[in-house]
Amino acid sequence: MRIAIASGKGGTGKTTVAVNLASLMSETNSGLYYVDCDVEEPNGHLFLNPEVTAKRPLFLPKPSINEELCDGCGECKVICQYNALALIGEKVLVFPELCHSCGGCTLACTRDAITEVPHEIGSIFEGKAGELMYAGGELKIGIPSAVPLIKEVKSMVPNMDDAILDAPAGTSCPVIETVRGADYVLLVTEPTPFGLNDLKIAVETVRLLGLPFGVVINRAGMRDEKTNGYCEEEGIKILSEIPNDRKAAEVYSRGQMLYTGIPGFRKYFKELFLKLTAEIESLTEKSTVI
């Protein structure tokens, strides 16, 4: 079972929910994976302190021009949709950061003047934190697209294994790549106008992708009831409400777990775990009937 944790707005507590839930679940589910798909700003390891057992770079093929064979016809530039190739006079310049490694230029070149060479875009990490398996990545600074690295990080989880996937902020390509193929999406929000606005965008996104989802309200009790009202109107299940508490912010700031670090907080994550399990079971039953 793959559960993705996303939010739309950043800083609502995605990583907090993901690491606390994953760690709590690993008490009874050994072999569970925590997968940090926020390869732009990975934070899960700061809380889980996994023992890293393997690290390797990820390379993508990028074009390299053989100037002796190139006649400057510009066909490669015409096909490139990402402006990664430029023609200066009769010389082709490559901007590898902009290249998406689609291979179009290599196919377009009529003189076999383009070969693809590996280019490092980031690193992949594997490890273990107690009973919890860890997989994550780190995008190299200056590389624009996180999507290929996220794909690779997700592929570290064996097919049949359960995983919690921690998504990056927003709703664009890296988030879509993270939640693709998930069995369930948890949307973490906070009861503020920003949180609600971005929750609505996130809800539209997961609905468009046809994924089942539920909501966790973090920092609940900030006197803004609109989020609860919205969920009720839309028929969206709220699986847990974690209260607003400066203590939680302090425990988080030190990189500690909320469910073990603050007396009384374990119940919020336990409740989330139980409701989530029930949700997923009911989905599985439905699909068996069909």
Partner 1 sequence: MKEIVVISGKGGTGKTSIVASLAALAEHAVLADCDVDAADLHLLLTPKIEQTEDFYGGRCYHIENENCAQCGFCEEVCRFDAVIEHNGYGDNHSFSIDPIACESCGVCYYFCPDSAIVMDKSRTGELFTSRMRYGPMVHARLGIAEENSGKLVALVRKRAREVADRDNAEYIIIDGPPGVGCPVISSITGADVVLIVTEPTISGLSDLKRVAELTGHFGIKTGVCINKSDLNLDVSQQISDYCSESDIAILGRIGYNEEFTGALVRGEIVLEIASEDLAAKINSLWENLNQLTPVN
Residues of this chain that bind partner 1 (CB under 8 A) = 8-12, 15, 38, 40-43, 46, 79, 81-82, 100-104, 107-108, 139, 141-147, 168-174, 176, 180, 190-194, 197-198, 201, 204-205, 208-209, 222-224, 246, 249-250, 252-255
Strands 85-88 and 91-94: antiparallel
From the CB of 105, what's the least distance to partner 1, in Å?
10
Say how far apart CA 114 and CA 104 lie, in whole Å. Answer: 10
Say how far apart CA 58 and CA 123 lie, in whole Å. Answer: 6
Smaller CB separation from partner 1, 186 or 276: 186
Smaller CB separation from partner 1, 183 or 224: 224
From the CB of 1, what's the least distance to partner 1, in Å?
21
Smaller CB separation from partner 1, 10 or 31: 10
From the CB of 42, what's the least distance to partner 1, in Å?
8
Residue-level length of the chain: 290
Smaller CB separation from partner 1, 25 or 169: 169
From the CB of 164, what's the least distance to partner 1, in Å?
17
Smaller CB separation from partner 1, 27 or 120: 120
Contact between 144 and 172 under an 8 Å Cβ cutoff? The reply is no
Nearest of 246, 240, 245 to residue 276 by alpha carbon: 240
From the CB of 281, what's the least distance to partner 1, in Å?
27
From the CB of 9, what's the least distance to partner 1, in Å?
6
Smaller CB separation from partner 1, 94 or 276: 94
Smaller CB separation from partner 1, 177 or 279: 177
Number of CB atoms found within 10 A of residue 70's CB: 18
Helical (H) or strand (E) element with 58: strand 51-65
From the CB of 244, what's the least distance to partner 1, in Å?
8
Q: Where are the alpha helices (DSSP H) in the chain?
A: 14-26, 44-48, 75-79, 104-108, 147-154, 173-179, 193-208, 226-234, 246-253, 258-261, 266-289
Assigned token pair, 110: 């009529």
How far is residue 242 from each of residues 134, 135, 188, 256, measured CA to CA in Å?
Answer: 25, 26, 10, 16
